[in-house]
Chain A
Amino acid sequence: MPLDIRIPIGLMLAIMGLILAGYGLIADSSIYTRSLGLNINLIWGGVLVVTSALLLALGLRRAR
């Protein structure tokens, strides 16, 4: 495998997770009536960031 795919996927999920979580922190909470009152942007953004950290750790460990 010329390029460890976990690195680009990890980066993409990290960027998306940070965008979502960041938006979750600043956006008006009234938009969350749709998502049953849960700040789904912040929660799921956090999940994506954790997942991306895991992928990056696995990808980089192999690269070294």
Chain B
Amino acid sequence: MTLGAVDWLLIFVYFAFLLGVGAALKRYTTTSADFFQAGRAMPAWVCGLAFISANLGAQEIIGMAASGAKYGIATSHFYWIGAIPAMVFLGVFMMPFYYGSRARSVPEYLRLRFDEKTRAFNAVSFALMTVFSSGISMYAMAKLLMMLRVLDGPFQRLGLDPAYIFHTCIAASAVIVLVYIFLGGLSSAMYNEVLQFFLIVAGFAPLVYLGLRDAGGWSALQQKLPATLTHSWRGFGSAQTNPMGVDAFGVAMGLGFVLSFGYWCTDFLVVQRAMAAHSMAAARRTPLIAAFPKMLFPMLVVLPGLIALSNNLIPFKVIEGTQQVVRDSLGSPVRDFDLAVPVLLVRYFPAGMLGLGLTALLASFMSGMAGNVTAFNTVWTYDIYQAYIRRTASDAHYLWVGRMATVFGIAASVATAYVAAQFNNIMDVLQLVFAFVNAPLLATFLLGMFWKRATGHGAFAGLVSGTAAAALHHGLTLPAGAAAGVKGGWIAVVHSYPSEMAQNFWTAIDAWTVCFAVTIAVSLVTTPRADRELEGLVHALTAKPRDERLAWYLRPATLGAIVLAATLLLNVVFF
């Protein structure tokens, strides 16, 4: 990919605004509440767009297009089944407890509702996970820019050694995210996420338009590709007849319930955006506003994969450093689906638009990274430093700690990026461990919010045994065709799944069920807390939010119903 002067100019404009927003917000960031909670002053639409943008990292864009090419329109289930219902549930039912309690973070809610050990378990694993994710994001960006040879031209002209391209990419992304979060904290991150939302749409919408036009439109694409790829539910009656290797029950329960509710309703990375809203009503509207664009995103991120496939643009995978094509066990060459988006950019965008398209891709990397960094600095400062290291200090001290946490959080991410570059296997193992810790969380929150009898000992026992159950399930099962090891079966292989996705879904279902059952069992034999201590934290002991005074289009339940109906309609259209 060779960029012209006009392309570089566009990228420069984007970086200038990114840093400019941070600088402009510095003078409004004077207290720790400004830095960590954006002063709880954000309007709902800003929170809503930041909410989806923080999740829309580049791995998401690259990965969704890749899986669009592999599995087809069924990839939209990650949005329609795997996000929308959970977002509606968060807005309508769960937000009142997050926003209404005095909690400043998700782990802090766990301390208020349960106890210190449950909070510590969640805070520490979450903090590690955010640093890890932003490091992986950095690594992925540097690798992509290297592969596309974006910087080769400028490096050659400046007479620099191309061996430094990787380091330059890592350093540049680290410094930019550091500067704007250091200056403006969460407000700065959220404003830039909104900015990135507009850029992503501006960069990808014309790409999809040109690609689809070239393919001869949607109906021509449908005729060209197998029906399982252009219909979202074709073949889901059984695990054997659809490309994902999962049946409808596995999709609904694993993805639609455990994984999606577990992520959207408990992950502080996204919930933090809603908690920054200026009022309870705005906080509840945040995920609902986010759901509208989210519902349509498959057109921007999944469709490119199908377009690249139908226009026969996806290159074969080559072994790094050689020209040799990777072949599967049958000897046929393997396509590199991760390149679906980059090849479309190069194929359809002339100089000018190419700069905008690349800026959109960079924007998604930045927003994914920044989201992790703000979630990390908040959890570190409130749930680890203030909880266990220094309990009482001035507000200015905690603000300073937050800024320092931003610095060392990013430094740790950089270290992670380099480890990822050296040892891919360690990264896979770590990712797996985090998946185990996350899998049962949803059961803990559901019981905590909707069953006042649930106790701290119950929650902690449930989380630990749920995590263990996830590890055990993974150690005993293996997807078809995989070797025992990081893919599973490291204890013994007692069951084989048709695909890795099926195994993931069932690991999650298993962990959730164990956590749910153990939490209930242990809660029933331990002493519950007094009702008055749980006011505002549990459904039965919290005054219902009064929505009747709001205009109909501002009521969470009404918005939720509209979103769900529209999602259902999309499923029917693409059935």
Contact = CB atoms under 8 A, between A and B. Distances in A.
B349 A16 contact: no
B198 interface: yes
A40 B198 contact: no
A62 B100 CA distance: 29
Given A3-B25, A19-B9, A44-B206, A31 B350 contact: yes
B349 A34 contact: yes
Size band of the A side of the interface? 20 to 34
B352 A41 contact: yes
B348 A34 contact: yes
Contact of A12 (B17, B28, B43): B17
Nearest to B347: A34
Nearest to B34: A2
A24 B13 contact: no
A11 B13 CA distance: 10
Size band of the B side of the interface? 35 or more
B349 A3 contact: no
B24 interface: yes
A41 B7 CA distance: 11
A13 B202 contact: yes
Contacts of B24: 3, 8
Contacts of B352: 19-20, 23-24, 27, 40-41, 45
B6 A19 contact: yes
B151 interface: no
Given A12-B14, A20-B353, A36-B214, A1 B42 contact: yes
The dominant DSSP class at the B interface is: helix
Interface in B321-363: 347-353, 356
B446 interface: no
A58 to B, nearest CB: 11
The dominant DSSP class at the A interface is: helix
B6 A40 contact: no
A8 B350 contact: no
A57 interface: no
Given A8-B21, A19-B13, A36-B210, A1 B43 contact: yes
Contacts of B25: 2-3
A45 B350 CA distance: 13
Interface in B11-59: 13-14, 17, 20-21, 24-25, 28, 39, 41-43, 46
B353 A44 contact: yes
A51 B201 CA distance: 12
A53 interface: no
A2 B28 contact: yes
Contacts of B210: 35-36, 38, 40
Contact of B17 (A11, A24, A51): A11
Interface string B184-212: 00010001001100100010001000100
Contacts of B10: 16, 19-20
A26 B344 CA distance: 25
A1 to B, nearest CB: 6
Contact of A40 (B42, B46, B187, B353): B353
Nearest to A41: B352
B41 A1 contact: yes
Nearest to A12: B17
Interface hub of A5, A23, A38 (most chain B Cβ within 10 A)? A5
Interface of B: 6, 9-10, 13-14, 17, 20-21, 24-25, 28, 39, 41-43, 46, 187, 191, 194-195, 198, 202, 206, 210, 213-214, 278, 347-353, 356
Pairs A-B, 8 closest by C-beta atoms? A41-B352, A31-B350, A2-B28, A12-B17, A23-B352, A23-B6, A5-B191, A44-B206
Interface of A: 1-3, 5, 8-9, 11-13, 15-16, 19-20, 23-24, 27, 31-32, 34-36, 38, 40-41, 44-45, 48, 51
